[in-house]
Amino acid sequence: MAAGTSAGAPSTKKPKKSSGGNGGGNGAATDPQVRSRMQRLFGFEKEDLSSWHRFVCLLNRPTDPASLGIFRCLFGMLMAVDVTQERGLSHLDYKYLDGAPVCRFPLFNFLEPLPMDWMYLVYLVMFFGAVGIMLGCFYRLSCLMFISTYWYIFFLDKTAWNNHSYLYGLIGFQLTLMDANRYWSVDGLRNPRKRNAHVPLWNYTLLRTQIFIVYFLAGVKKLDADWVEGYSMKYLAHHWLFDPFKVILPVELVSLMVVHGGGLILDLTAGYLLFFDATRPVAFFFVSYFHCMNSQLFDIGMFAYTMLATSPLFCYADWPRRFFGHFPEFLWPVLPMVTPPPQPSASCLYPSPSSSSTERTDTQTVPKPSAHRFRHKMAAIFTIVYIAEQFFLPYSHFITKGYNNWTNGLYGYSWDMMVHSRSHQHVKITYKDGVTGEIGYLNPGVFTQSRRWKDHGDMLKQYATCLSRTLPHYNISEPQIYFDIWVSINDRFQQRIFDPRVDLVKADWSPFRTNPWLMPLLVDLSPWRKKFEEIEGTLDNQTEVVFIADFPGLHLENYVSEDLGNTSVQVLQGNVKVEIVDEKKNYTLTPGEKMQVQLPAGAYHKVYTVTDSPSCYMYIYVNTTEAALQKNFTKLLEIQEKVRNGTETEPLPPELQPLITGFDDEGSEVNATDPLVRLFLKRQKRMQEAKKRREASMLERFNRFVTKKYYMIRRGFLMTTIAMRNLVFGLPPLEQLRREVDYANMKAPETAVNQNEQLKDEMEHREL
């Protein structure tokens, strides 16, 4: 990978008046007419690996800076946009509001956020660093500004970790060490020695290998049985983007063959296909299609566009010269440089000129041979160590055992993207006053801004420690904290992930030891997933089912909502005892047996596992409130259609009069006196808006996208301006500050209307 065809072989295609190629200064030494097969395929000879001296020369071989310069510009631009979006500048005040009792989850417990106005300064430094990288202006300083603030924010909140955020930090770190400002940069305008100067080959080697690792290891991780069998992203095939495939395949095969099979094959092969000349056009098509789809399927910020920007790195390094060389010459002054060829650089090693090169000395200056320096050897050592570390780190979980849960390690550096999907059925936080013995319950997620803590033992320990410091302010002394969290991973049974009997305030945890209070994933029960599909296929549209597995000696305490009717328990494996708390009645159930009585709505019950092996059972229930609501909606829709068609002969009662104007009348849902009619009209209005958005033209969609981004970026920079003013001149009067924040919070009219509508009753009935 260090010097593939695209890495070092000189190109025979050059723009007019340009002799600069990917081979840079050693172009004369490797005549394309006589290159060996290995040289043509990989860009270097096997003799280049025969000794340390030759290997150092290879990695420091002069290479055209054009492709690296274009990537630097694109990466900096994308990171500048990312600061306002996924990094969170637009809503920074919600996350770091001074004085708010918030439990945070840093990688190192000593890390704490700065006061809010200073956090805005941190983000401003990161933004200017990204802009400096884009422009190639004060390049090293800009890189340091970006990565120092980026990694600080990254380590400050583990709940925001993901693979692509980790990748951004790695690329920023690599660019700091590279000479990426040698092409199309402000530094090149300021310093002629840097302008259009060669860069060593290891600059490309690191970036290409990093992207290869992202693709390849993501594919290796997808060899997991859950992915291969189609359970990881099971419901993704229902997205409209896969509608063309559903014309010829049923949705189940689209999920298995296109989503899972296609994703696996693409990740495993993309790095190789991008590397070789013959397969690169095919790779460009599929990789671009893949990332464009991902940009619509997932909320992943700039990741799809960043990966698109990395693809040209695998081309010949002089591709920008050849590409922009096709433009009219009068545009060349405002385009990236086409001519002259790259000039020598002290960062590279130049070989002694051969006899064949003397023929060209009249038209091209031959660089003087350069001796090995300490910097060249260190560059080679760093390249080897960094690549080895990047291959090792995703499999280093045997060292950091404390971060292992049902999946290994902290999510974010293992490249196991989208391999595991989770659903949470039941989360209970119990506290016990260590002095009085009083027992109480906390709302899940209280004092937090994230839900990621539910799946990670290290975060759960931090959360419990934070609660133990916070609850004494609410007259709870020496609190003990217990978590009962039920999770299903990749459509398995809902089961406990942590032992609910352990007080996590006093529980032992170390990053280097296995978590003793982690409950094992019941992988032996995975074959039941086929049975789940069969059971769900026998149910009507109104009946729902939840599959539960529990450990011996434990019990599930559950509450049946008043909205649910006809709720019962049926055992699939093992024996259970069901206790109805209020009635003080017990029912023992064996495999295949179903409760003959319904679980009472609005009351608690307990399900005990009474066998020596895990029990498996399922709740079967009907949301009677939702069913009744849907039935009433159907009747109201029929009445509305009759009124509009003129088939309704009898006058409507006053409470149904708003149905005549429906959602065409701006205030119809407000003026409706009947709660059901009001809810119906709101629902109809939302459905009409959703249909309008789906059927919008490309111009309307683009306008909506731009408007949304404008108000997001606008708020971020207005709030940053307020924070900088506060740091320099101090806080203004509260009334002035309120007006300034209100102005920053201004949104597009339709966005503001949608966000101000609090459809509480719809949320309760899960109607929409």
Catalytically annotated residues: 222
Q: How far is CA 131 from CA 89, 143, 301, 557, 631, in A?
A: 15, 10, 18, 54, 56
3-state secondary structure of 56: helix
Which H or E run contains 462?
helix 457-470
Give the C-alpha separation, 511 to 513, whole Å: 6
Q: What strands lie across the sheet with 495-496, from one edge to the other?
A: 439-442, 422-432, 480-489, 495-496
Amino acid at the residue 35? R
Place of tokens 């770190």: 173
* CA pair distance 65, 564, nearest whole angstrom: 66
Q: Which residues contact 85 (CB under 8 A, 6 or more apart)?
A: 301, 302, 709, 712
At 138, list the tokens: 């004060």
Amino acid in the structure at residue 322 = R
| Bridge-based pairing state of the strands 495-496 and 439-442 | unpaired
Q: In this structure, what are the phi and psi dihedrals at residue 194, rounded to the nearest 5 degrees? A: -90, -20
> 587 forms bridges with which residues in the sheet?
578
Reduce the secondary structure of 542-597 to three states and give it as a string. Answer: CEEEEEEEECCCCEEEEEECCCEEEEEEEEEECCEEEEECCCCEEEEECCCCECCC
Dist. CA 438–CA 651, nearest whole Å: 60
Is residue 479 within 8 A of residue 485, CB to CB? The reply is: no
Gap between the Cα atoms of 25 and 188, Å rounded: 19
